[in-house]
Amino acid sequence: MECDAPTLVAEDGRLAAISGSKCPACLNLDYSQYTSFAPHLYSIKSGDFSPPPRARFRLVAIDEVEGTAAGGCPPCRVLQHAIDFFWNSKGSEMQRRKSWGVVQKRFERALCLVVQPGRSMLLFRVLIYDDVPDRSFIHAVTMRDVASRIELYRDQRLVDKTGQRGPCSSIGWAQHVPAVITLDRVVELTRRWMAGCDESHPKCAHLGPANLPKRLIDVRGGVRLVDTLVDDDVALDEPYMTLSHCWGSEKAAHSLLKTTHDTLYGHRQGIAWDVLPQLFRDVITLVRALGCRYVWIDSLCIIQDDPEDWMVESVKMSTVYNDSVLNIAATAMRSSSLGLFRQRIHGQGFRDLVVSEAGTIGHALETIEIPTAEGEPPIFSRVSHDRSHEVLYGDMEYFRTPMEPLLSRAWVFQERLLSRRTLHFGASEMLWECRTDCFCECSRIGDAHALSARNLNSASLAQDLDGFESNARENGTRFIRPKKVLFFDVCAGISNPLDFWLRAVEEYSFLYLSHERDRPFALVGIAERISRLTGDVYFAGLWLADLPRALVWSPCRSKKVFRATNKGIPSWSWMARTCYPHVQSTACAVRYKHVTQYGFLQDSRLKVHTDGTFCRYEHDNPFGQPVAGQVHISAACCWGKVELDRTRKTGVRWNGRNDLRIALHVDGGESPVFVPFLADRPGEDPETVRLSNRVLCVLIGSREVGEGVESPQYLLALAAVEGDEGLWERIGFSETEGKVELFDDAPILELKMV
């Protein structure tokens, strides 16, 4: 297909301006001719609820762009230049493999062009199925995980000098990102971002005197571990920085430089530069260049083989990170053997890539300059940095990536939220995250989450909530706040802390822990903050004031889950599950989305007896390791039997995922009422669950919906504790498809869950 417009090419090969009718493929990148996206999320920064100019898109066949480019359309020639460089005409091998699996439906490949006034342009590939008559984008399957997004932009400095003219004027500006990150570059950006934060962000200011941690690394001159309570030469008014880092594999963690009883004296005297791992050297170099004297590193500032010291210091994480002037996050480094200053790599298309022996993934950053018409500012093209933005903004359930392994670690979750500001060393760029704003080198982070594939493919809007999404709306657009911003609002009493907690638990449960025993402790800093704010009692990951809602967590469907080694954790706590020895598994994840998105209406007959509800902890630490717990309730109950659901297509073998249901008993010999069932710990003997004749289903509540609508109900499945008459343990969860009338006249039983 050819464009009607004539082609004028200068002798040096640069495209000249053209005039004529619109190109049928790109429509001359005319924003007014592109299609608006369905309502989707926009990020909120600095408390400004005005969304950026809404991005628009156009779907076009890839070969159509190729044809109009050959016919002389200048915008299409620019697009094709980028496509030829970053993709090939046949698509990646992963794209072809993905296509083979789609055998039930016919589809066509298409190119999605995304334009946004004044901003850079995006290209990515999608699949459009024949059973979508209106070709609406919300039904397109975005291939961002297997085929990198291409970004086209102009250098802001050149745009400011020359203005935007020519046939590609719809392509806006962005910032260059160097392929190699250097100390000078880091210092320049960090000082700029810190200065802006200090001057313009009152939320990020530290209130009250700083409390120095018990131990710090003094980097003035040499490198020495100091005790702030004992050493006379410690400057108590000096700021300090912190480090968030991955310890690496079990082998790497074992060899990591640590402070132990044996090394404590030597580290107090001084740590030789050549024994420090590369990451620690780079961090100390950066701390010195930023004019700071102290840095806190967990492996060096906590005595690792002293359980008492570890217990005392681990519960002080809230203060340590809150009082730090800056948290340095080695976000893309798998272990301390990798440094901060390096050749950077792309964070997209990771499933096509291979992990090298050094632990790096991907391809080096490449930015190309595309020829343009004379007098028009040059156009640059690169693989978009959006993936790193999505990891920073999005839930780990959807945006987990091996490119930024630090963000998938459970301990780091609270480090990010508790610190006033964090400087991320991502795979492809540096990012800044504070209590007010987010910055990045490429300048697109404010647009990133709005253009994520998850949001583009979703046409529905969730209900308002005070979780990770804001309750502010404008023109049908739902907003999203960075987690650190929202956590500050929680601490300031602006947002509901219990709603936030449920969403925090949900994300935390998807993150990795190297040691099962750490599960209660890696969230203790956030729990302490909420406790001080609300005065509520903490119950092994739940809050007394949020009962019974907090009881209805839904286990993710996996068969690799067992009862936690610590049998003192009560069964009604989401902490009572473990996926070990599968350390790198997210099988222990739980969901609260059914209550945070759709609301929760407690059954009117249910009562929580607070006098019989308690939780006891090891060493009397109210946020420590639970040793016993009980929730005493009265609720409507029905007896049932767990059985195999042979109507599902998962086969005849019980696999702990989709093929179980509960048959609720009906008096009078009538047919049973069936409800779906998710086992809490399906890794245990499945016969015990399947053939259980005495499963008690307890009605906790339902979705909060309008009048006249039969809302799904939330049930807990309980089994009697063997040898302890009157005690029950939770074994699973059920969200019914609608109202179960059997519970209308169900007996009210008094239950003690342990």
Question: Which amino acid does the sequence have at 369?
Answer: E
| pLDDT class of 163 with cuts at 50, 70, 90 | low
In this structure, what token pair is assigned to residue 666?
């009906």
Is 60 exceeded by the pLDDT of residue 505?
A: yes
Are residues 678 and 557 in contact, defined by beta-carbon separation less than 8 angstroms?
Answer: yes
Is 50 exceeded by the pLDDT of residue 651?
A: no
Is 50 exceeded by the pLDDT of residue 49?
A: no
Query: For the chain, what are the domain ranges?
Result: 27-177+367-385, 181-342+394-440, 496-527+537-754
Are residues 58 and 135 in contact, defined by beta-carbon separation less than 8 angstroms?
Answer: no
What's the pLDDT tens digit per position in 415-441?
A: 999 999 999 999 889 999 999 888 899
What's the pLDDT tens digit per position in 576-610?
A: 988 876 655 666 889 998 998 889 999 999 999 99
| pLDDT class of 347 with cuts at 50, 70, 90 | low
Is 60 exceeded by the pLDDT of residue 50?
A: no
Query: Where are the extended beta strands (E) located within 69-146?
Result: 107-115, 121-129, 141-142
Q: Which of 544, 563, 714 is nearest to 631 (CA)?
A: 544
Q: CA 199 to CA 194: how far, in whole Å?
A: 9
- Give the pLDDT confidence score for residue 159 in this predicted structure: 62
Is 90 exceeded by the pLDDT of residue 530?
A: yes
Other C-beta atoms closer than 10 Å to the C-beta of 206 total 12
Question: Which amino acid does the sequence have at 599?
Answer: G
| pLDDT class of 691 with cuts at 50, 70, 90 | low
477-480, strands of its sheet edge to edge:
41-43, 477-480, 469-474
Q: Which of 200-204, 219-223, 394-398, 720-724 comes out lowest in average pLDDT?
A: 394-398
Is 50 exceeded by the pLDDT of residue 336?
A: yes
Q: Which of 30-44, 323-337, 617-631, 698-712 comes out lowest in average pLDDT?
A: 30-44
In this structure, what token pair is assigned to residue 374?
């004379």
Rounded mean pLDDT, 454-464? 36
- Give the pLDDT confidence score for residue 2 in this predicted structure: 35
Question: Which amino acid does the sequence have at 71?
Answer: G
Q: CA 664 to CA 645: how far, in whole Å?
A: 13
Is 70 exceeded by the pLDDT of residue 403?
A: yes
Q: Which of 146-150, 252-256, 283-287, 293-297 comes out lowest in average pLDDT?
A: 146-150
Is 70 exceeded by the pLDDT of residue 79?
A: yes
- Give the pLDDT confidence score for residue 266 in this predicted structure: 97
What's the pLDDT tens digit per position in 601-641?
A: 999 999 999 999 999 999 888 999 999 999 999 999 999 99
Q: Which of 174-183, 288-297, 583-592, 742-751 comes out lowest in average pLDDT?
A: 583-592
In angstroms, the Cα distances linking 342 to 148, 189, 285, 423, 429 are 22, 16, 14, 16, 11
| pLDDT class of 126 with cuts at 50, 70, 90 | confident
SS3 state of residue 26: coil
In sequence order, what are the residues at sequence separation of 6 or more whose Cβ sits closer than 8 angstroms to the Cβ of residue 56? 31, 34, 35, 36, 37, 114, 115, 116
Q: Which residue has the higher pLDDT, 688 or 295?
A: 295
Q: CA 165 to CA 163: how far, in whole Å?
A: 6
For the purposes of burial, counting CB atoms within 10 Å of the CB of 236, is it exposed (0-12), middle (13-18) or buried (19 or more)?
exposed
- Give the pLDDT confidence score for residue 513 in this predicted structure: 86
Identify the bridge partners of residue 602 per DSSP, sorted by sequence position.
701
- Give the pLDDT confidence score for residue 397 in this predicted structure: 59
> Tokens 């024949």 — which residue?
130
Is 70 exceeded by the pLDDT of residue 670?
A: yes
Percent of the chain clearing pLDDT 90 (strictly above): 46
Q: CA 583 to CA 545: how far, in whole Å?
A: 33
Q: Which of 280, 195, 272, 295 is nearest to 246 (CA)?
A: 280
Other C-beta atoms closer than 10 Å to the C-beta of 2 total 13
- Give the pLDDT confidence score for residue 354 in this predicted structure: 35
Is 60 exceeded by the pLDDT of residue 453?
A: no
Q: Which of 475, 493, 491, 474 is nearest to 483 (CA)?
A: 491
Q: Which of 524, 531, 521, 545 is nearest to 491 (CA)?
A: 531
Q: CA 177 to CA 120: how far, in whole Å?
A: 14
In this structure, what token pair is assigned to residue 630?
């009980």
Residue 234 has phi, psi (to 5 degrees) of -80, 130
Question: Which amino acid does the sequence have at 98?
Answer: K
Identify the bridge partners of residue 58 per DSSP, sorted by sequence position.
113
Question: Is the sign of the CA dihedral 357, 358, 362, 367 positive or negative?
Answer: negative
Is 60 exceeded by the pLDDT of residue 92?
A: no
